[in-house]
Amino acid sequence: MINQSLKNLSQLLASKAVSSVEMTQTFLERIRQYNPTINAYITIDEEKSLAQAKAADSLIAAGTATTLTGIPFAQKDIFCAKDWRTTCGSKMLANFIAPYDAHVIAQFNHVGAVNLGKTNMDEFAMGSSNETSYFGGVKNPWDLTRVPGGSSGGSAAAVAARLCAAATGTDTGGSIRQPASLCGFTGLKPTYGLVSRYGMIAFASSLDQAGPMAKSAEDCALMMNVMAGFDARDSTSLNHPKEDYTAKLEQPLAGLKVGLPKEYFAEGLDSDVAKVVDEAIATYQKLGAEFVDISLPNASLSIPVYYVLAPAEASSNLSRYDGVRYGHRTAQYDDLMDMYMKSRAEGFGEEVKRRILIGTYVLSAGYYDAYYLKAQQIRHLIADDFKAAFKQCDIIMGPTVPSTAFKTGEKTDDPVAMYLQDIYTIATNLAGLPGMSIPAGFSASIDGHDLPVGLQLIGNYFDEARMLNVAHAYQQVTDWHTAMPKGIE
Amino acid sequence: MEWEVVIGLETHTQLRTKSKIFSGASTAYGAEPNTQACEVSIALPGVLPVLNKEAVQCAIKFGLAVDAEIAPRSVFSRKNYFYPDLPKGYQISQFELPVVGKGKMTIQVPATSKHEAYEKVIHITRAHLEEDAGKSLHGAVDDMSGIDLNRAGTPLLEIVTEPDMRSAAEAVAYAKKLHELVQWIGICDGNMQEGSFRCDVNVSVRPKGTTELGTRREIKNLNSFKFMQQAIVYETQWQIETLEDGGKIEQATVLFNPDTGETRAMRSKEEANDYRYFPDPDLLPLAITEADQAAIKSQMPELPEAMKARFESEYALSSYDASTLTSSKAIADYFESVIQAGGDAKLAANWVMGGVTAKLNTEDKTIVDSPINAATLAQLVIRIADGTISNNAGKQVFEAMWSGESDVDAIIEAKGLKQVSDTGAIEAMIDEVLTANATMVDEYKAGKEKAFNALVGQTMKASKGKANPAQVNALLKKKLDA
């Protein structure tokens, strides 16, 4: 059951071969067994999950179920879920019980899906290895000595280790796609504004976007049908007509024009990863796709631009964590200022503090024009690069990450090396474009471990259905996406 | 040396919307603490602001009312600072691109012993939308400060003037005019006690004849015109004395203490925050089209200046009367309702400005609290105009109406105030008076005009005050001169 597609799980439930309670129990048992090692979940509440499963079984019995009714999903701990502890991976919110549902959570609840638990993540989604979490790192199921990527590391490990049917994630600079690449599954970051941010704890508001993390493109499409849609409570939510993301899955790829940005195949790309990507390109050629060389001349500026804009927004977004109304408040303080300083010094981890400091600096009087304004101007140039590129091609392909999963602790003392993990993914966030990572093979075995490699797809605005089609076609002729890590069967 | 004071105002006008500027929570005043604080007001993790369209409409109305530029595109920014009653750690405001740009307003400065009444144009620099903070309640809970977030997120329009005012009187005249205008166009309830209209006054002084601005101090949060007057007078004097004593003015924020009548520095500018303004990524730029403006313009009430001009031409009122009757929307509406109910314009104007205003002033009431509604006053005016009662008798009827009676004809009947306009009856009375007062008749005929008035008086007395005085005059004259 654990390696089944969402469609198959749905059929199992509909045919009453398995109940939602049984399916939920199966995953909860796996969580009990593997989570102490992998640490994918921060919060599990079996009672709540089973109550939802029971309710789902009634819907199924009543014949009012939809595709995802009764299927157990893992939810990134960045989404507020009513009556669930919602920590965002931080000591600051370690005891915060959300009194309301995020839009994404409400959408899953609405279709009667089961919430299996809240997954581990880098603190406030700041990190690429899940090592900044207050609740400890997450192990990559393909090699327990390596990181799963981040910031959606818990959801990634949960999907890879089959500790859920599928999971949600968020992606500000690559937080869905990079872990999808490192853990070998399919992850989609939709067009900015397609999925409401309401109730999703903000890191960098103009970049944050929620998306599905699942085994296949088809699973992602089914989840997008639930997650996407206009929400009046998010002013940046786009009033895009509701789509059926499964509708175009089976379209043939003949005539598809794929752009290969030369900047994504330049120095810095591991040869192992390059080899896998080249093989994937060859497969696509067989499927009828045509390839053109393109250029994204400002792509190299993505990381510096991102590390001005994202911290700027974060420094302001995280000001609400002041110990006054909720969240961590220091035990002893002399006055208001002392309370602020101690509460925030104790409540936030090192990486979060680093970004608050950077963000505060770039917004300060005298520095604003040189950093924040300049970065905004370059952001437009980066978006213009993509606009030009999409005149030459329908979709862009390349590696998701320059390398495979790295060892735990390997980059923790070198923030810049960590930031370079997102070198191929950040530009899409800056442009607001949809991006995807799909499993495309493995690196040469290291210490007996095969490490997954992801292929990145970048589409034009609102081209999610087409991207899912392109990914699905590949998954019909390859089986990388069904491969499971050893030792978790 | 002769000094000149330079004054500019920043007014926080609380907009009269049902819900907050970025959430659906109620803006009603006076609720139990934190009962009107929704998840957005509390700034829970993950919440987002959604702009209240009603607040934008209020801003557009104001822009139209002061003949201002309305920005086709304005931007909400975050003003970052920490304070316990500021739940997000930033206030959403407008910084570089405000919704309302340059505009102007004409104020009437009342006469004093030193000068005649005069008009002056005050230039509006800008007006921008922003959210209010909550309130800190010190001493509400033992050893702790309480935070009430009911007010957090209440929509404000901050209206900023150029430093155009040169006296406390001008500043107060501007504030009063603005206070009336925002109520007139229905965007603010004007309740100063509840903080719906609060002024910050920037005051500086300079040697008369110079053009460079002196260093200003900002008097914060004045919520009464009386205090504003006192605060500016005190502050101006303080600054002049400080400079004359060889001191220097430091830029500062000061508070006015109504008990002592003094202003005192709250914080100096060295402690000023760097607010790190930047465009709020949670909100799209606010776009206002010509069509949006036109739609709102069509719903706008007639503005005071236009109404004043119309009163002068349509009702043949003097500039002074028209100005008085348009000093508030409520008075203007009342006056026009009297006319619509059939009252003569000039008589209506006299009664509204005279009897009604005098009574209201005595009882410290406003026109909306008047026990005599416009329709009833119109009945009185009609009876005076059609000669049923004299203007004098009208005063008795008015008193009765003020005490709660509303049937004008019944009052006239009950008090027997009906005028005698029957020529025959009046002539008969005159004949009797002439017979009984032959001496006076002789005096009149000898050229004593005073005797005529005495004879009118006698006739009126004979009629018990009910004869139509105009008729008495005419008939008496006719008989004596015959």
Cα separation values, A248 from A218, A228, B179, Å = 10, 16, 61
pLDDT: which is higher, B172 or B272: B172
Residue A437 is among the residues annotated as catalytic for this protein: no
CB contact under 8 A, A93 and B45: yes
Structure pTM? 0.90
Classify B279 as helix, strand or coil: strand
Query: Which residue has better confidence, B26 or B389?
Result: B26
CA trace torsion B60, B66, B69, B75 (10° rounding) = -50
Count how many Cα atoms sit within 13 Å of the Cα of residue A360 in the half-sphere of its side chain.
15
User: What pLDDT score was predicted for residue B271?
Assistant: 58
Nearest to A363 among B45, B87, B278 (CB): B278
Q: Distance between CA A430 and CA A417 in Å, rounded?
A: 20
- Neighboring chain B residues of A102 at a CB cutoff of 8 Å: 46
The minimum CA-CA distance between B53 and chain A, rounded to whole Å, is 12
Shortest Cα distance from A356 to chain B (angstroms)? 13
- pLDDT (0 to 100) of residue B390: 77
pLDDT in the model for residue A344: 98
Which residues partner with B202 through β-bridges? B8, B218
* Binary contact (B45, A232; C-beta < 8 A): no
- The percent of residues above 70 in pLDDT, for chain B, comes to 98
CB atoms near residue B473 (< 10 Å): 15
Q: What is the pLDDT of residues B85-101, one digit of tens each?
A: 999 999 999 999 999 99
Name the token pair of A60.
Answer: 């199924």
- Looking at CA atoms only, how far is residue A217 from chain B in angstroms? 28
**Residue A47, pLDDT above cutoff 80:** yes
ipTM of this predicted complex? Answer: 0.96
Burial label, B97 (beta-carbon count in 10 A; 0-12, 13-18, 19+)? middle
pLDDT of B160: 98
Segment A158-183 shows an average pLDDT of 98
Domain A6-256+391-482 indexed as CATH 3.90.1300.10: yes
Tokens of A156: 């990634």
Sign of CA dihedral B318, B319, B325, B329: positive
Reply yes or no on whether the pLDDT at B270 is more than 60: no
- Asked if A271 is an active-site residue, the reply is no
Query: Measured between alpha carbons, how far is A329 from B135 in angstroms, rounded to an integer?
Result: 20
* Structural domain spans, chain A: 6-256+391-482
Query: How far lies B346's CA from each of A24, A463, B313, in Å?
Result: 85, 72, 12
Spatial CA neighbour of B124 closest among B198, B197, B178:
B178
What is the tens place of the pLDDT at every residue in B410-431? 787 777 777 777 777 787 888 8
Name residue A453's amino acid: V
With beta carbons less than 8 A apart as the criterion, state whether B448 and B427 touch.
Answer: no
Cβ <8 Å between B84 and A336: yes
Q: B176 with A354: CB under 8 angstroms?
A: no
Instruction: Place B463 in a pLDDT band, splitting at 50, 70 and 90.
Output: confident
Other C-beta atoms closer than 10 Å to the C-beta of B124 total 24
- CA–CA gap between residue A456 and residue A177 (Å, rounded): 8
Residues 85-114 of B with CB under 8 A from A: 87-90
Residue A76 annotated among the catalytic residues of the structure: yes
- With CB atoms and an 8 Å threshold, state whether A316 touches B39: no
pLDDT at position B364 over 90? no
Size of interface A-B (CB pairs under 8 A): 95
pLDDT in tens, A374-429: 999 999 999 999 999 999 999 999 999 999 999 999 999 999 999 999 999 999 99
pLDDT at B429: 83
Closest CA to A190 of A179, A176, A205: A176
Who contacts B368 (Cβ-Cβ below 8 Å, separation ≥6)?
Answer: B330
Ordered DSSP codes for A420-471:
GGGTTTHHHHHHT--EEEEEEEEPSPBTTB--EEEEEEEE-TT-HHHHHHHH
Name the residue with tokens 């203490």. Answer: B257
Residue with tokens 């307003």: B105
What is d(CA B72, CA B289) in angstroms, rounded to the nearest whole number?
A: 6
